[in-house]
């Protein structure tokens, strides 16, 4: 126990300092995504706090940061609009927020069930080119989102900064990046991101430099309706239990959004978990993370947060800053709450340029620059998948990109394996023709498999040997079954040998007479057919 405590206490300083840095970076992100989702800024901040604290304590990946995310916010826009339309013209009034909170309850249940049924393990089916494409696409998305900080105004009237303000902002961004790049070369004992934010903030505050700050960002983004960060503790949302909101009509509106949001949240969280695993050379628990994400989103629905999932940018800030344990995530969440309750006036003075500089360094650290070097060294199909996932992540969203990448990878894999089916033919001394099958037999290789046989011109006795083949699915079983029937119809004796035990059992179950066709041998394969009901 002493050793356990000592190891964790040794990194406590790094966890605390890294957590504070993350908390500062969470503020503009949470507010910006709240504006994207068309909900009040405090809803975004509460969401970041509740997501962060629950996943930090109960999640499957210490050091990973969760909060309000853009990938989920863009889906919430339509949901909030539907809710407002649902209540418009009735005694209820606009119900966009209530629709969002109830949907988050559904999202949480779906994600928690994914953890209960251990669906988190399916993240291992995501190929490496998809992972690299996801990382590159997300880095581009983070970069593009930061460009919005160089604009002024609200809504469609936003314009790019100009003149001295633009140059001051660029200079402060560059100074932040320079400090983060240079400080680790002098000493690794200081958190470079936190020091950079502090130095640039001091220059702006004491130099009275006229650039955008967290406060001005919030005021502009809300159109002047919100004056600052100051808020209270999250309140229990009794309004979501109105009977009208739980009617079949309203639930049918919310349900599709719930499944989409749950899928986006799980995919982004599990892929971020994989990335953090690689960076720290440790192993997280995907199923536990699913449960924690679900619980956090349920809490958001009950207490008025906008929900969310794992945040790759803030997670990398945390890891690069030395945050490895659960303490870093807990500190980040609690510090964010303290900003809201007690230190809003101080945090509002932090220049946006400092936070943009930090995120630009995250972009540089996130992007898989090695992908340029290996593009001409990997299979063309993998290169296409890598580029496609990157582009789709930017064009659509993360979930669509990853699903598309996995589907393309699966099709390429099936096509390549379908071409590997081979048949070696020989005639035995007694005139029996033997087909020795090589390669996997599955739905993709069935046509090539059938083309190997010459039923009309084959001798009276034929043997098909599957010792060097693998019968992989139900389509393969059907192909063997149909082939046996064709030989029987031609009045020829066919024997099949070296099938696995479960393959033989399934075939005999389908047609008991096939027991006379199948030969048993001590060296029959021991693999299992995917469609076996017992496995």
Q: Among candidates 172, 218, 167, which has minimal Cα distance to 198?
A: 172
What integer pLDDT is reported at residue 19 of this predicted model? 93
Check the CA dihedral 289-294-297-299 and report its sign: negative
- β-bridge pairing 433-441 and 461-471: parallel
What integer pLDDT is reported at residue 309 of this predicted model? 94
**Partner residues linked to 426 by β-bridges:** 434
Place of tokens 């406060």: 215
CB burial of residue 478 (10 Å; 0-12, 13-18, 19+): middle
For the chain, counts of helices (H) and of strands (E) = 21, 9
Coil vs helix vs strand at 375: coil
What integer pLDDT is reported at residue 43 of this predicted model? 93
Q: Among candidates 46, 50, 69, 68, which has minimal Cα distance to 58?
A: 50
Q: Which CATH number fits domain 419-519: 3.30.750.24, 3.50.50.60, 3.40.50.2300, 3.40.50.720?
A: 3.30.750.24
CB contact at 8 A, 347 and 339 = yes
Give the helix ranges, DSSP H, for 117-159.
128-147
What integer pLDDT is reported at residue 486 of this predicted model? 93
What integer pLDDT is reported at residue 231 of this predicted model? 81
Strand ranges of the sheet holding 493-497, from the earlier edge strand across to the other edge? 422-427, 433-441, 461-471, 493-497, 518-519
Give, to the nearest 10 degrees, the angle between helix 326-341 and helix 12-37: 60
Below-50 pLDDT ranges, the chain: 1, 4-5, 532-535
What integer pLDDT is reported at residue 156 of this predicted model? 67
What integer pLDDT is reported at residue 504 of this predicted model? 85
Cα separation values, 177 from 148, 307, 362, Å: 18, 30, 10
Coil vs helix vs strand at 301: helix
What integer pLDDT is reported at residue 382 of this predicted model? 92
CB contact at 8 A, 84 and 95 = yes
What integer pLDDT is reported at residue 1 of this predicted model? 42
Q: What is this structure's pTM?
A: 0.79
Count other C-beta atoms under 10 Å from residue 200's C-beta.
Answer: 25
Place of tokens 């961004």: 173
CB burial of residue 170 (10 Å; 0-12, 13-18, 19+): middle
What integer pLDDT is reported at residue 214 of this predicted model? 86
What integer pLDDT is reported at residue 453 of this predicted model? 94
What integer pLDDT is reported at residue 292 of this predicted model? 96
How far apart are alpha carbons 118 and 11 in whole angstroms?
A: 31
């Amino acid at each position: 126990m002493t050793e356990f405590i000592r190891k964790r206490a040794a990194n406590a300083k790094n966890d605390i300092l890294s957590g504070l840095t993350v908390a500062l970076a969470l503020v503009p992100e949470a507010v910006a995504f709240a504006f994207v989702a068309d909900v009040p800024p405090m809803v975004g901040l509460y969401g970041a706090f509740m997501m962060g604290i629950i996943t930090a304590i109960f999640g499957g990946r210490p050091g990973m940061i969760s909060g309000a995310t853009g990938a989920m916010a863009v889906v919430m826009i339509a949901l909030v609009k539907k809710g407002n339309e649902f209540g418009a013209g009735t005694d209820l009034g606009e119900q966009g927020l209530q629709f969002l909170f109830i949907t988050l309850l559904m999202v949480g249940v779906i994600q928690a069930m994914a953890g209960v049924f251990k669906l988190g393990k399916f993240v291992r089916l995501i190929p490496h080119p998809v992972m690299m494409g996801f990382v590159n696409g997300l880095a581009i998305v983070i970069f593009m989102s930061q460009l919005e900080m160089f604009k002024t105004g609200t809504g469609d009237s936003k314009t790019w900064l100009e003149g001295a303000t633009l140059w001051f902002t660029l200079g402060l961004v560059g100074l932040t990046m320079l400090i983060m790049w240079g400080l680790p070369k002098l000493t690794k004992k200081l958190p470079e991101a936190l020091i950079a934010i502090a130095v640039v903030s001091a220059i702006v505050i004491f130099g009275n430099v006229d650039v955008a700050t967290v406060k001005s960002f919030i005021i502009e983004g809300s159109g002047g309706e919100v004056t600052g960060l100051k808020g209270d503790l999250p309140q229990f949302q009794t309004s979501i239990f109105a009977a009208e909101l739980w009617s079949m009509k309203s639930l049918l509106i919310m349900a599709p959004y719930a499944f989409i949001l749950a899928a986006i949240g799980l995919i982004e969280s599990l892929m971020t978990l994989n990335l953090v695993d690689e960076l720290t050379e440790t192993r997280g628990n995907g199923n536990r993370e699913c449960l924690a994400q679900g619980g956090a989103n349920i809490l958001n629905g009950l207490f008025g947060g906008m929900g969310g999932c794992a945040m790759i940018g803030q997670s990398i800030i945390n890891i690069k800053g030395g945050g490895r344990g659960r303490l870093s995530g807990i500190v980040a969440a609690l510090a964010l709450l303290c900003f809201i309750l007690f230190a809003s006036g101080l945090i509002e003075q932090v220049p946006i340029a400092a936070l943009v500089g930090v995120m630009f360094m995250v972009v540089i650290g996130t992007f898989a620059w090695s992908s340029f070097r290996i593009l001409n060294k990997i299979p063309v199909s993998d290169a296409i998948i890598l580029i496609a996932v990157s582009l789709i992540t930017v064009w659509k969203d993360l979930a669509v990109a990853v699903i598309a990448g996995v589907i393309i990878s699966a099709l390429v894999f099936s096509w390549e394996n379908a071409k590997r089916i081979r048949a070696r033919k020989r005639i035995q001394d007694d005139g029996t023709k033997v087909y020795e099958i090589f390669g996997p037999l599955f739905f993709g290789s069935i046509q090539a498999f059938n083309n190997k046989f010459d039923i009309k011109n084959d001798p009276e006795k034929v043997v098909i040997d599957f010792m060097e083949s693998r019968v992989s699915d139900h389509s393969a079983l059907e192909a063997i079954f149909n082939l046996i029937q064709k030989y029987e119809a031609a009045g020829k004796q066919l024997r099949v040998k070296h099938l696995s035990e479960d393959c033989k059992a399934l075939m005999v179950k389908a047609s008991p007479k096939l027991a006379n066709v199948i030969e048993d041998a001590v060296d029959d394969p021991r693999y299992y057919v995917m469609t076996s009901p017992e496995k």
